[in-house]
Structure formats: structure tokens, C-alpha cells
A and B are shown apart, each in its own frame.
Chain A
Amino acid sequence: MRRTTTAVVGALAVMMVAACGSDSGSGSGGGGEITGTVTMWTNPIYDENAMREHYEQQAAEFMEEHPGVDVDITVNPWQGAQEQLTAALAAGEGPDVAYLIPDRIPTLASQDLLTPLGAALGEDREDFHDNALEAVTYDGEIYAVPVLQSVIPQVYDKRVLDAAGVGEPPTTWDAFLEAAEKVQAAGYYMTEYPGHLEMTLNISFYPWLHQAGGSVFADDGESVAFNSPEGVEALEYLTSLVENGYTPSGAISEPSNIEQSEVSRGNVAQVSAEPQRLIELWGAENVLVAPPLENREQVAYGTVGAYGVLSTTDNTDAAQAWVNWISRPEALREFDVESGYFAPRRSLDDLYADDPVLGDVEKLIPMTSTFGPHPAKSVEVMTTLRVEVQAALLGRKSPAEALADAEAEANRILAAG
């Protein structure tokens, strides 16, 4: 127990005496010229060395423009990145600028840890996709500047569809079930539903919920809305996929990456994933990209990567200027192509016009959503709902029971604030 106390709670104790705020320098110099050191924490969005080179080049140009500013870039591994930022912020040692995803923005913004950036964006905001800005907005304010968008479309293994005699990828829930029967008869799985507890519901359950016409939260974000006829329909549909053996049962509870899954073995017809990974696994010639499935709605998840300015910084002006710099169209053109993601700017909507696969995916950006609104407790709500969805898929509860239980707990979480 003592080791637990030291390792886990020890960090907590440090927080009690830690002062907040970076001490990396001043803010702005005389005459409006920005000064100080801007520390940026990011993660390896693509090849770490190439990404570091990109940002170092951007930093050199930025510092030439603003001689009083020094930019320090740290690329932290994805593993434990959230805990690292949490611990650093708690100890008052956080960066000035951090890479953020939509799920984390409400949590940080609700604790006044992010600086509003809407005013700093100015008229430039018109160039950003609406769904990209929605993803970084909390309580009506923009808290991060998007630098990339992803699309999680339906991706089909052409070899499996051919073997099953399915001519075209299905685009509706009904057609999906019809295709599933044929695929199963040919000895394959129709899909691999990732129901394990490490998987974000943004990719697993939420797309089905929204396609059924439901939503996670009520419009005001004060309560949850997933326990609805649409929500039950979505979960019943998924449960039927499991019961009929259209998806491998192991994927419901075993955390795994795609390389160890049935997908990588060529045993699955459809997967909801970024096609770039599947091109590597299956070969571009076997990858078929299809629009999101349609029931009442036709929608897919697409995340947004963005940079936010921590409110603990002493160099707000310099940090905002740096974030604006790295999100300029000319900077994003290189960054997004190198990373294989899509640009959040309308002026860069044709990045992949010459790519047969990614060009098709790029056109799906308007169909993507991050399934907001995202209240401050959206991560907790997702954790609660994820467990109950898994319980339904494993047959421990009926879909209606699971959603009702999740609703009760989630509303308690939201009410507690």
C-alpha cells in the first residue's frame, strides 16, 4: 500500500503545494512586440523526426518574424500523454501550448485552464470548417485552433466482398445486414465492432447512435439523451451483430490494436477506421472507401486535432501568435499532407485531389462530427456508457436496461457538476 500511496497519491500531494503558472518569461515587450519563451507540447502525429523538423522550420521562421520570442518544442509519446499533461499542470509546470483533442477541451476549459482563442482568430475563423470549430468550442467559446481533421469512414476489404459476392459496399443499415449474411456464409466476419473499454465511443457506439437519429447529450448539455428509442435501436442493432456472429466476440472485450485483430488477417469485410492504416495492411488496391452508413442520419466520426494555449502561461500573446502561425494555410498544407490527415480549412479542401483513396475520403469531411455538445463531464459520461454498452453486447443486460442504467449514472455525474 505504501508504494501506491507514494506513486499515485504522492503526485496528488505535490499538487497541494504547487504553484500554478509557467515562469518561462515575460509576456509582451514594449511597443506591442511579443517576447518570451513559448513551450509547446505535442505528440507524434506522424513520423516524429519529420514532424519535429516541420515544427523547427516553422519555429525558425516565426522567431525571425518575432525576434523576442523563443519557441521550445517537445514531442511526447502518445502513451501516458494525458497523465503527463495532467501532472505537469497540477505541479504548475505545464507548457504554454499543447496539442488537444475535442474530448479533453471541455475538461480543461471548465477548469479555466485554457485561454479563449476566438478573438485571436479574428476573421480567419471563416476559413475553418464549421464542424472543426464546433469541436474546439466549449460554452460558446473557441479554445483551440484546429490543425487537422480526420474522417472515420466505412472501409471495406475488396477481397472479402468479392469472395462473398457483394458487389457494392452497403450504405444503409438494412443493406449492411443483407451483406453480412453473405459475408458470413463465405466464412468471414462482416465487421469488427470494438467494444472493449479502451476504445472511445466516438468510433464505436456514437456513430451508430447518431445514424439512428439519437444523440449523446441534450442540446443544453445538462443531461444525457442516449436513452431514447433511437439509442435502444442502435444498441439492439449492434447486439444483433454480435448474436449473429457478424463480428468477432473477442473484440467486444479485448483491447487490441489493429495489427493483432481479425482485420489485419483479412477476415473482416468492413471496419470503421482511418483508411491510411488499412492501405498499409491490405494494399491500396484492396481498400474500398464508402460513405457512412445511413439510417435516419448519415454521419461518421471525424476527430479534430488542435493547439490550445494554457491559461497558466505567462506569455499569452506570444503563445497565441505561435498557434496562429502553425495553423496558417501554408503551414498546414505541408503538415496535413505529411501526416496523412485532412485540413480543417476550406482553402485547403483539395489537398488530396490527386489521391484515389484519400481524395474520396476528403469529400466526406462535411459528413463528419465529433458528436457534441461536449459538457465538462463528457469523458466521465463516456466511461460510464461504455461499460453499459459492453454489458449489453456481452448479453449481461438488455439494450434498454443498459442504456437506462447508464442514463441514471450519467445524469448523476452531470448533476454533480
Chain B
Amino acid sequence: MSTTQRSAPPPSNVAHRAGVLLRRREARIAYAFILPYVSLFLLFRIVPAAGSIALSFADYSLAGRFSWVGLDHYERLGSDPLVGEALVVTAVYTVIAVPLIVVSSLGMALLIRRPTRGVKFFRSVFFLPVMTSLVFAGVIWRWIYADNGAINSLLDGIGLSSVSWLSSGTLVLPVLASVATWARFGFDMLIFLAALLSVPAELEEAARVDGARWWQVFRYVVLPHLRPALFFVLVIETVHSFQVFDVIYVMTAGGPVRSSTTLVFLLYQRGFEFFEFGYAAAIGVVLFVITIAVAIVQGRFFGRSRT
């Protein structure tokens, strides 16, 4: 008779295996939770985006005729003066809109960060434009900026001459940027507000005790803590500005002349007015590449570190 005595595994190995099993189980649960989102994301974002890229190398007619054209659309893009013009308009709009939105939203967040009386009311009111349809708001803003609109009536009332806000090639982009600022600052303000509330009060207090002025406290204490939020807002608003369409569609239809014809507006015209789907897709791909490139550059400047 013999007996075999198995040696028990070392306790550390058991714990390790149990940990691995637990992590695998947790991972499976986690995957199960994200599966619906990932599926929908693939179906409605990645697949159409890939289809769009493929379409940019093809011609497709409404009647269903499809043919590969290689790089034809991209060659045409390179020589199409309207694309160059739209690219400049988009860039100028972005350069005006993004700082305007960031400064406004940060300024508002600084104003309402302290829990003073009525601050919740203002936080809600400032967020209201975010929930308003920009198409609807654009109609109202068009009336406000019209030659015979509210702003010019106000200017007339105080003895100043009227301004052709929407007829001026110089003013139209700042006007559109102001409307975008109105529509967007509430969302960004909340992001900045959350970041501001995480700034340790004692740091600001210590700086003030050391004699720092308001600007110095902001510059050397608050702003470094805002860097991640600032990066996020900059990227989001840059992307949003490159995408601007609805407010232009409603307020200016790309005019006067082509002063507000952005790349996305041009894409819309080519795709949905002239049915040049392949060319429109090529414009979309170029816009995508440009936006990614700008976001990477922004990341280099603002996203490197927290301090």
C-alpha cells in the first residue's frame, strides 16, 4: 500500500491564479457591458466612415451606378479653387470662433464658480442655449443681425449708423462666430467649472497671502490645473468649428459671395445639391485629416503634462 501525498501549491500561486480568474471574469463582464456600444459604434460610425473613404475613390450616382475612379477626386480637389477658398474660410472662422468660445466660457466659469446667492440660476440660464436647436436659433439671430434687425435698430436709437453685418465679407465670420459662442459657451463653461472646483482653495489662498494679484493667482495657480480641461475644450471646439454648417445654412447660405462657404458647406452643396457623392466624400476625408492634424498639434502644445 502506498500513498501519494500531493504537495499543496504555495499560497502565493493560489492567490495569483484566483486573481487572474477574477480579472478574466471581470473582463468578460466588462466586455459584455461595452459590447452594445462597441457594436453600435462600429455599425454607425466606423463602417460609414470606412465607406466614405472608399466612396471618395469612386463615382456613385443616384441611379446606383458605381465606378472606381482612383485618385481623380483628390486631383480635382487640388485644383479646385473653391476648395482652397473654403479651406481659408474654415480656418479663419476657426481662428475667430475658438478663442472667442474658450475665453467666454472660461470667463463665465470664473464668474459663477463661487457658491454665491443665485449662482445656480445663472448656471442653468447660461446652459440653456446648449439645449436650443441651432437651426431655430439661427433664424432668430438672422433677424437680429439683419439690416433692419434689432442690433441696427439699437444702433440707430443711440445715434450710430447701421452696420451690414451679414452683407459684409469682413464681418460675416465674426458674426457667425458670435452665434456659435452663444450656442456653445454653456457646455464648455460646465467643463471649466468642474475643473475650477477641483483647484485646491488653500493654494489660491496661500498665493494671495504671499501677495499675488488676481491675475498672478489665475496665471500661476489656477491655469495649470485647468490644462487638461483647456486641452479638451480646445480640441472639441476646433473640431466643432471645422464642422460648422447649420448656422451658416440658416443665416448666410454661404454668402455674401463665398465669404462663409466653409468646407462642410461646400461638401453639402456637392453631395446634396449636385449629387457628386464621391467628390463630397473626398472633401470629407480631407477635412477629417486636417482636423486630426490640428488636434495632434494642439495635443503637443496643451496636452503634454498637467502642470
Whether chain B is bound by chain A comes out as: yes
A residues 1-56 near B (Cβ < 8 Å) are 1-6, 8-20
Cβ of B142 and Cβ of A254 under 8 Å apart?
yes
Q: Does B31 contact A (CB under 8 A)?
A: no
A-chain residues with CB within 8 Å of residue B287 when the two chains form the complex:
1, 4
Count of chain A residues near B, Cβ 8 A: 54
A-chain residues with CB within 8 Å of residue B153 when the two chains form the complex:
none
Cβ of A1 and Cβ of B239 under 8 Å apart?
yes
CB distance from B232 to the nearest CB of A (A): 15
A-chain residues with CB within 8 Å of residue B226 when the two chains form the complex:
none
B-chain residues with CB within 8 Å of residue A1 when the two chains form the complex:
239, 242-243, 287-288, 291-292
Q: Does B167 contact A (CB under 8 A)?
A: yes
Smallest CB-CB separation from B276: which chain A residue? Answer: A380
CA distance A387 to B257 in the complex (A): 5
Q: Which of B108-116, B197-205, B261-269 contacts A (4 or more CB under 8 A)?
A: B261-269
Cβ of B167 and Cβ of A6 under 8 Å apart?
no
Which of B251, B257, B267, B271 counts the most chain A CB atoms within 10 A?
B257
**A9-B258 contact, Cβ under 8 Å, with A16-B54, A197-B253:** no
Partner of B253, one of A248, A249, A255: A255
Q: Does A135 contact B (CB under 8 A)?
A: no
Partner of B256, one of A9, A14, A19, A390: A390
B residues 104-149 near A (Cβ < 8 Å) are 142-143, 146-148
B-chain residues with CB within 8 Å of residue A312 when the two chains form the complex:
63
B residues 57-89 near A (Cβ < 8 Å) are 58, 60-66
Cβ of A20 and Cβ of B280 under 8 Å apart?
no
Cβ of A6 and Cβ of B48 under 8 Å apart?
yes
Interface membership of chain A positions 224-262, coded 1 if the CB is closer than 8 angstroms to chain B and 0 otherwise: 000000000000000000000000111011111000101
Q: Does A76 contact B (CB under 8 A)?
A: no
Cβ of B255 and Cβ of A387 under 8 Å apart?
yes
B-chain residues with CB within 8 Å of residue A13 when the two chains form the complex:
47-52, 54-55
CA distance A19 to B63 in the complex (A): 10
**A9-B284 contact, Cβ under 8 Å, with A250-B167, A394-B167:** yes
B interface residues with partner A (beta carbon < 8 Å):
44-45, 47-52, 54-55, 58, 60-66, 142-143, 146-148, 164, 166-167, 169, 239, 242-243, 245, 251-258, 264, 267-269, 271-275, 277, 280-281, 284, 287-288, 291-292
User: Which are the 9 A-B pairs with shortest beta-carbon distances?
Assistant: A13-B51, A250-B147, A10-B48, A9-B52, A197-B253, A253-B256, A20-B64, A1-B291, A13-B48
Q: List 9 A-B contacts (CB under 8 A).
A: A6-B45, A12-B281, A16-B58, A20-B64, A86-B62, A86-B272, A252-B256, A255-B253, A387-B257
